[in-house]
């Protein structure tokens, strides 16, 4: 049976449910990378990524009113080191960089393979297109087969960068 999935922008009232998904993602990463300690990013989500007025644009997927997935992106300056360390905010409406970067996506395990991530991607792509960006891109490690499949199914062009791919969708 088809799930009734609603996609919309993140709202501050989603915070607690959202952070539960982040914990799920972190537990999954810890399971995958046994030889490392992963410092939690919860504080960063709370104080940076999910702060209203910051550069991040976040969409959530809801099933029966519950947040079961998310996708976060931001306008990219084209320099990953600057993009990752700084939050660059436009001070004039004339500024739209060409690229919109897809940073991270997650769907709760029991809701996977039902098209939720694809729906989230469609929504953010439409947002980026309307905002006037020239392209949307993501960088994905080669081990992350599910995410590569999702992005490829949306017709992104794939470029081999060694241990990862750059996937681009031009408008």
Part of the chain binding ligand COA (CB under 6 A), chosen from 35-43, 81-89, 116-124, 160-168: 116-124
Q: Which of 44, 47, 96, 153: binder of ligand COA (CB under 6 A)? A: 153
Of the pair 73, 75, the CB lying nearest ligand COA is at 73
Please name the residues in contact with 56: beta carbons below 8 A apart, sequence gap of 6 or more: 48, 49, 50, 72, 73, 74, 87, 103
Q: DSSP class of residue 154?
A: T
Residue indicated by tokens 């049976």: 1
- Rounded to whole angstroms, the Cα distance separating 83 from 75 reads 9
**Which residues in the 123-152 window bind ligand COA by CB under 6 A?**
144-147, 149-150
Between CA 63 and CA 159 the distance in angstroms is 34
Stretch that binds ligand COA, among 9-17, 89-97, 99-107, 162-170 (CB under 6 A): 99-107
Site string for ligand COA, 42-81 (x = CB under 6 A): ----------------------------------------
For tokens 């939720």, the residue is 116
> Using the rule CB under 6 A, is 104 a contact of ligand COA?
yes
Cβ nearer to ligand COA, comparing 42 with 145: 145
Q: Which residue is nearest to ligand COA (CB)?
A: 117
> Parallel, antiparallel, or unpaired for β 135-141 and 157-160?
unpaired
Starting from the edge strand earliest in sequence, which strands make up the sheet with 157-160, in order?
A: 5-9, 57-63, 66-76, 99-107, 135-141, 164-170, 157-160
User: Please, are residues 54 and 87 in contact by the beta-carbon 8 Å criterion?
Assistant: yes
Please count the residues of this chain forming the interface with ligand COA, following the rule CB under 6 A: 20
> Using CB under 6 A as the criterion, which residues of the chain lie in contact with ligand COA when the complex forms?
25, 28, 104-107, 112-118, 144-147, 149-150, 153
């Amino acid at each position: 049976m088809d799930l009734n999935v609603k996609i919309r922008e993140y709202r501050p009232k989603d915070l607690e449910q959202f952070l539960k998904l982040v914990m799920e993602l972190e537990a999954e990463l810890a399971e995958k990378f046994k030889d490392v300690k992963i410092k939690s990013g919860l504080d960063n989500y709370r104080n940076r990524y999910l702060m209203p007025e910051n550069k991040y644009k976040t969409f959530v997927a809801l099933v029966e009113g519950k947040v079961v997935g998310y996708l976060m992106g931001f306008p990219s300056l084209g320099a990953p080191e600057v993009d990752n360390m700084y939050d660059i905010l436009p001070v004039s409406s004339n500024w739209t960089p060409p690229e919109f970067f897809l940073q991270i996506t997650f769907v709760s395990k029991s809701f996977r393979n039902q098209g939720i991530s694809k729906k989230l991607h469609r929504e953010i792509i439409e947002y980026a297109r309307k905002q006037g960006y020239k392209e949307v891109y993501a960088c994905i490690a080669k081990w992350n087969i599910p995410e590569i499949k999702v992005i490829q199914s949306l017709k992104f062009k794939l470029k081999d960068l060694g241990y990862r791919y750059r996937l681009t969708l031009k408008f």
